[in-house]
Amino acid sequence: MWRPDRVAVTAAGVVTPIGQDVDSFWSSLLTGADGISTIERFAVSDLRVGRGGEIKKLTRVKDWNGVPDCRATRLLVSAADELCASAGRPIPVDPHRLAVVVGTALGGVGEGERALGGDGRRRRLTGALYDAPAHDLARWLGARGPVLTVSTACASGASAIGLGADLLRAGVADAVVAGGYDALCRFVMRGFDALRSLTRERLRPFDRRRSGLLLGEAAALVLLRREADAGRQRLGTVLGHASTGDGSHIAAPDPDGRGLQRAIAQAMTHAGVTPAQVDFVSAHGTATVLNDRIETAVLKRALGERARAIPVNSIKPTMGHTMGAAATLEAIMCLLAGRHGVIPPTRYLEEPDPECDLDYVPGTARTAPCRTSLSTSLGFGGQNAALILEAAPA
């Protein structure tokens, strides 16, 4: 049965190039750490750009026994290990009522590369299917409820949180581990290199000199519960969400951002939130010429005058665009910003683009009340997602 309950975020876990737990991730965002480096795990010398947000060594999990030798799975398990440190392992809920909903742009494609590269193990082939890491995670968690993989490209991490919240509201599950992940691999580096989307400079969202993005790898998970079941421990609440398609172009966003605008409007309606109640926006902010201009215009249309009054940031310069993980990391950042009343800066924004004329929090972190936030995401295939989040008090 559908329940009107709000959905609480009760725990989180992350693994990123700037920290392998939520605390270090958050402090790195505030202090301006830089997780971009030369990629070392696979060959990049033939590519225009060989830098990205690579995690040099996964340090959190000491015992990989029973966990497949798959980068994507190990990122997920690393994030889940932190989540379980606060939520418990096993998570204290009937395993048949524990669902897993994770988003990804690439799934286990790195396994496919290895299989086609001569690694004959059968695991490589089955692991190449995009839903393999989610099932690996479910096994590690002991989850016996629904296991769903969302692939709305780089909006996946937001779509997964929204779908997870829906499973709770529908009464299909009592707890949902939701989030997103993606691992760097040669496949994706080659692809974005061929698209000429990668910059040789810094990733500078909303800066007039911006020249493209850098990729990163990460996993981010949250534990969702209906508020009535959540207890006192919580990071915040998922108030609303929406996912839309542009129907405009296979790779580029709609030039007018109509799909993103609809996603924002639907998420706000779902949340019962007006523009006046939005305190802060976490933008997709990829630093491509098109994205930042379109996103700015959409925020002005969707939020009206309020858009000029509230801070907007992008955390992608610190670790690159982490694809399927990005929106979940940004959602966690929103909840932490609201809890602490501090907004991480948009790093490397120094010369604002006149067409990008909102308050993007350049320079250093800013103290500001930001309890209710909007997080926007866009992806290949004209996919858009918006989340409305409310932080819990500290």
Footprint on this chain of other proteins (rule: CB under 8 A): 1-2, 96-97, 99, 104-105, 107, 109, 112-113, 115-116, 120, 122, 125-126, 128-131, 135, 144-153, 159, 163, 166-167, 170-173, 187, 190-192, 194-197, 242-251, 258-259, 262, 266, 379-384
Structure tokens at 191: 């692809």
Collapse the DSSP code of 187 into the 3-class scheme (helix H, G, I; strand E, B; otherwise coil) and give the result.
Answer: helix
What single-letter DSSP state applies at residue 282? E
Least separation in angstroms between CB 71 and other proteins: 16
Shorter beta-carbon distance to other proteins: residue 19 or 112: 112
List 154, 185, 334, 356, catalytic entry: 154
Least separation in angstroms between CB 58 and other proteins: 24
Shorter beta-carbon distance to other proteins: residue 167 or 287: 167
Task: Determine the Cα–Cα distance for residues 332 and 23; give it in Å rounded to an integer.
Answer: 11
Q: Which of 21, 30, 80 is nearest to 55 (CA)?
A: 21
Do 100 and 164 touch, CB atoms closer than 8 A? no
Least separation in angstroms between CB 86 and other proteins: 25
Least separation in angstroms between CB 31 and other proteins: 34
Task: Determine the Cα–Cα distance for residues 348 and 364; give it in Å rounded to an integer.
Answer: 10
List 135, 241, 270, 284, catalytic entry: 284
Do 327 and 150 touch, CB atoms closer than 8 A? no
Phi/psi at 212 (5° precision): 130, -175
Active site residue 154: yes
Our CA angle for 298, 299, 302, nearest 5°, is 80
List 135, 241, 270, 321, catalytic entry: 321
Structure tokens at 33: 């750490």
Shorter beta-carbon distance to other proteins: residue 48 or 308: 48
Q: At what angle do helices 109-116 and 186-195 cross, to 10 degrees?
A: 100
Least separation in angstroms between CB 380 and other proteins: 4
Largest separation between any pair of C-alpha atoms in the chain:
59
Q: Which of 193, 78, 81, 70 is nearest to 130 (CA)?
A: 70
- Strand-pairing partners, residue 256, are none
Least separation in angstroms between CB 151 and other proteins: 5
Q: Is 125 exposed, middle or buried (0-12, 13-18, 19+ CB in 10 A)?
A: middle
Collapse the DSSP code of 222 into the 3-class scheme (helix H, G, I; strand E, B; otherwise coil) and give the result.
Answer: strand
Least separation in angstroms between CB 38 and other proteins: 22
Shorter beta-carbon distance to other proteins: residue 190 or 301: 190
Q: How far is CA 305 from CA 167, 189, 297, 302, in A?
A: 35, 39, 12, 9
Shorter beta-carbon distance to other proteins: residue 13 or 382: 382
Do 278 and 338 touch, CB atoms closer than 8 A? no
Shorter beta-carbon distance to other proteins: residue 191 or 341: 191
Q: How many CB atoms lie within 10 A of CB 303?
A: 22
Residues labelled as active-site residues: 154, 284, 321
